[in-house]
Amino acid sequence: MMSILEQMEPIGLEDMKAVRLMNRIDQKFMAPAAMLEGLLQRIASGYYVQLIDDNPLAPYHTLYFDTDNLAMYTMHHNQKLNRQKLRVRRYRSTDTTFFEIKNKDNKKKTRKVRIAVSPQSFNSVLTVPEVREFVDRNTPWPVPQLHECLENRFERITLVDKGMSERVTIDRGIRFHNRATGLDSDISPLLVIEVKHEVGAPTSDIERALHDLHILPRRISKYCIGTALTDPLAKKNRFKEKLLYINKIIS
């Protein structure tokens, strides 16, 4: 897999800024990690690979926050619109850390707002005055009601098509640790692929390749799946089909 990535034309973080998807559509796919090399071989000529310090694999470390009764998780499970996810994420490849709020509105549009925080505050971010004010200003959730919930780690490959109109992320090596229950889950044999391009754009190389490999679009939230896998008391009826599909892939 690494040899294929090394053969692909590289692109840096600054050049990636040219890919501005103002009216975008996002599609997610789940696939066996064993398919990654074959998938990259099919699309390598049509995409750049993002390199940071000459490395195509960017490690991510994320910690999510929720209420004691998992209000935000339950809203997603129950398909409520106008919902949020709160997290702190460490981008290890660039040595940056952000507290982020992801908003999904009633038109199913996703918008993310974030503020930079020090890496040292990762495990105590809700005590940072700027973060507390940011949460108060952008969410209905009182900070005292929030607690550390799910932690995850993964590596991300980022691709952009040669026309600079499509961005692809491939997450691999996904592992979860639930700080509330103490339980772990490792779904490393699974890839989560996200394709982002302008609304109305023609079918892209990676979409064709995934179709040929019989990989169809499937919605997935790493926060929700990780919680369902590591919290026995979390409501999970609507996620059962996804959990069965994931279990089939990883086993």
Per-residue pLDDT tens over the stretch 115-152? 999 999 999 999 999 999 999 999 999 999 999 999 99
Mean pLDDT within 160-167: 89
Model pLDDT for residues 35-59, shown as the tens digit of each residue: 999 999 999 999 999 998 889 999 9
* Amino acid type, 170: I
CB atoms closer than 10 angstroms to residue 247: 12
Closest CA to 39 of 157, 187, 203: 157
Domain positions in the chain are: 2-250
Query: How far apart are alpha carbons 176 and 92 in whole angstroms?
Result: 17
23, pLDDT greater than 70: no
User: How far is CA 196 from each of CA 23, 160, 170, rounded to the nearest angstrom?
Assistant: 10, 10, 12
CA separation for the pair 178, 172 (Å, rounded): 19
Which range among 25-29, 128-132, 180-184, 219-223 shows the weakest confidence by mean pLDDT?
Answer: 25-29
Whole-number percent of the chain with pLDDT over 90: 77
Q: Is 112 buried (19+), middle (13-18) or exposed (0-12) by CB count in 10 A?
A: exposed
Query: Phi first, then psi: what are they for 165, rounded to 5°?
Result: -125, 5
CATH 3.40.50.300 assigned to domain 2-250? The reply is no
Q: Which pair of structure tokens corresponds to residue 213?
A: 């490999």
pTM of the model: 0.93
Residue 25: which pLDDT band, with cuts at 50, 70 and 90?
Answer: confident
Instruction: Give the three-state DSSP class for 232.
Output: coil
Q: Which region among 13-27, 66-80, 237-251 has the lowest average model confidence (pLDDT)?
A: 13-27
Q: Is residue 150 within 8 Å of residue 223, measured between CB atoms? A: yes
Give the pLDDT confidence of 185-198 residue by residue, as tens digits: 999 999 999 998 87
Neighbours of 235 (CB within 10 A): 14
DSSP conformational letter for 14: H
